[in-house]
Structure 1
Amino acid sequence: MHVPDNGLTSSPVARDPGVGLAAEPPAGSAAAYWAGQSLTVLVPVYNEEESLRQLVVEMDQFLSQTPVPTTVLFVNDGSTDGSLALLREICRPGSCYEFISLRENQGLSTAIKAGIDHARGTLLGYIDSDIQTSPSDFLTFFEFFPEYDMVNGIRARRQDTLVKKASSKIANAVRRTLINDGIEDTGCPLKIIKMEYARRLPLFHGLHRFLGALVQLQGGRVRQIPVRHFPRFAGTAKYNLRNRAWKPLVDTFGFRWIRSRWRNYAIGEQQRAAGAHA
């Protein structure tokens, strides 16, 4: 795929984001499936001015290899630094990049839902703007479609502080115990979901912690695969011990309530009117 010049791809930092990765061209029935697919990669942004240029460098590498037409949708979640100005520069007409900007900071779950509501295509990708995961690892996800409805990464050899790793591990263990969804690393910021499942995700506080579980609630199948993890490129983490431990616990009980009242339906027969009555 041709990647339009966005003027921001000079002097990349050597992180080797694409080492060892190659996209195998689809063949047979897989080729027929991918011929009708398109991908929107959702990137929430909150005060990530220092990381955005490097993210574009690495995203351009992915865009040059992806076997499917791809758009990158940034969701500015009320940033108070220079993120919005930089997004206006990145998302020039004719590029693969676009953005929406929320009037004020609403939190990650709302940013994700807003992005889903504005996304196009048949598949939704998700990556954080702090680039602790690499866009190139999306290339390893494609082989699991259409058999699975979501592919969720598992961060291998996490490059985080001891406190962050411990709190995340505890939160994941508690969540799995309480809802038994089998998702090993629900917070991994590298996912692809079929759009028909993403569109049905309800908006609530903590939505981002239950994306895999919500796909399962709809009857979808989730595949989990290891992905690389990098130290934070720049800036500071937006989460601390409180919102990695206490808030996830509260959200988990909220999700249990939602799950107990969740309903799916299937239409057995349909007859549409030929036109509206004048």
Structure 2
Amino acid sequence: MTFNATYSVVIPVFNEEENLHELYKRLAQVFEQLDSKAEVIFVDDGSKDSSLKILDELNQKDPRIHYVSLARNFGHQIAVTAGLNYAQGDAVIIMDSDLQDPPELISELIGQWRQGYHVVYAQRISRSQENWFKKLMAFGFYRILNRFTDVAIPTDTGDFCLMSREVVNIINSMPERNRYIRGLRAWVGFPQTSVKFHRDPRFAGEVKYTFRKSLSLAIDGIISLSRKPLKMATYLGLTTAVIAMIMMVLVLFWRLTDAPNQLIGYTMITIAIFFLGAVQLICLGILGEYVGRIYDEVKQRPIYTVKKQVGFQKMERQSK
């Protein structure tokens, strides 16, 4: 590993006009303390506000600021992927633009990278101004994810991390469309470690990751990294068959012995219909998630399209 390094900071942006100036100010202060040159790659993910205009102003003000404008909103993970495709640094830092990921932590991430770690992820030990429901969901998600996936994904970590050039090259070579970056970086391997931090509240603006988007990301993470949900559907079917056999034996016993039981009749039929219907729909849903991802892969469409790129005159990049 060379220590005459260039650092790339990849930041996806979606309607963050209220945060960009403060983010740039704090990044510039951090860059002054680094031991090598750095670049910032903003990826505008189809913003509807003045985010793109602000990025253009920052680029004219500071040549270290580059940006890519996607042709429409492709989603957070795809925006991060686009940034990784354009990043040139020996160490690549991913962070969000809402200042919940403190730029001041970059120096600590780099310090661990210089110790020989290829992935240094920021691990949250507290979440400021988040309600109990969101904290509970986050706590449960990471534990369930590790139960289902075939690779160990560190708990309480997001996309905020540093990755070496070797790891970034491997992730960039992966052709899959439904991407879960924190899972891919764990799957790649190489020495990994964590840096603990307290997560700040948003500096300004509205939360972009709604419950629906968070749930979709969780499903992507599980489906893309494991076949265990398919096995679960099989086990669920076998369990249903066993329950049905037990109930059949009980019904025969009650009929033959004339034992009075309120479960015999319409109640039993109704419960059985709803139970079997629920099991079938769950299994179909699990199967559909995998089939849908196969459909996305075989189409071989680009995972994003670029409307504009600024600051990459010496680079030739295409959407992948």
Q: TM-score range by the shorter chain?
A: 0.7 to 0.9
Which structure has greater helix proportion? Answer: 2
Equivalent pairs, count:
221
Change (3 A) 1:33 1:208: closer
Q: 1:102-181 residue pairs with structure 2 within 5 A?
A: 102-146=70-114, 147-159=116-128, 160-179=130-149, 180-181=151-152
Give yes or no for contact 2:19–2:97 (8 Å, CA) kept in 1: yes
Larger radius of gyration: 2
Distance in 1 (alpha carbons) for counterparts of 2:223 and 2:205: 32
- What 5-or-longer segments of structure 2 have no aligned partner? 228-320
Q: Does residue 95 of structure 1 match 2:63?
A: yes
Q: Which residue of 1 aligns with 2:232?
A: none
The equivalent position to 1:81 in structure 2, one of 49, 54, 64, is 49
Equivalence for 1:231: 201
- The one of 166, 170, 175 aligned to 1:196: 166
Q: Kindly indicate whether the alpha-carbon contact (under 8 Å) linking 1:125 and 1:192 is maintained by their aligned counterparts in 2.
A: yes
Letter in 2 for 1:90: L
Q: Is the contact between residue 156 and residue 229 of structure 1 (CA under 8 Å) also seen in structure 2?
A: yes
Q: Is the CA contact (8 Å cut-off) linking 1:153 and 1:227 kept in structure 2?
A: yes
- Residues 106, 182 of structure 1: alpha-carbon distance in 2 compared, 3 angstrom cutoff: closer
Residue 208 to residue 237, structure 1, CA distance change in 2 (3 Å)? farther
Alpha-carbon distance between aligned partners in 1 of 2:15 and 2:197, rounded to the nearest angstrom: 25
TM-score w.r.t. the length of structure 2 is 0.65
Partner-residue secondary structure (3-state), 1:190: strand
Match in the other structure for 2:240: none
Residue among 208, 215, 234 paired with 2:188 = 215
Check conservation: 1:49, 1:83, Cα contact below 8 A. yes
CA deviation map 1:35-58 (0-9, x unaligned): 2x1110000001111111110111
2:167–2:185 Cα contact (<8 Å) kept: no
Q: Secondary structure at the match of 2:199?
A: coil
Q: What are the Cα deviations for residues 145-199 of structure 1, in whole angstroms up to 9, with x where unaligned? A: 2421110001122112322222222111111122241412231x42110022112
Take 1:253 and 1:136, find their aligned partners in 2: how far apart are those partners? 34
For structure 1, which runs of at least 5 residues remain unmatched after alignment? 1-31, 258-278
After superposition, what is the alpha-carbon deviation per residue over 1:83-104, rounded to whole angstroms, capped at 9, x for unaligned? Answer: 1111111111652111010010
SS of equivalent residue, structure 1 residue 204: coil
- Answer whether contact 2:123 2:195 (CA < 8 A) is retained: yes
What's the Cα RMSD here? 1.9
Residue 247 of structure 1: CA displacement? 4.2
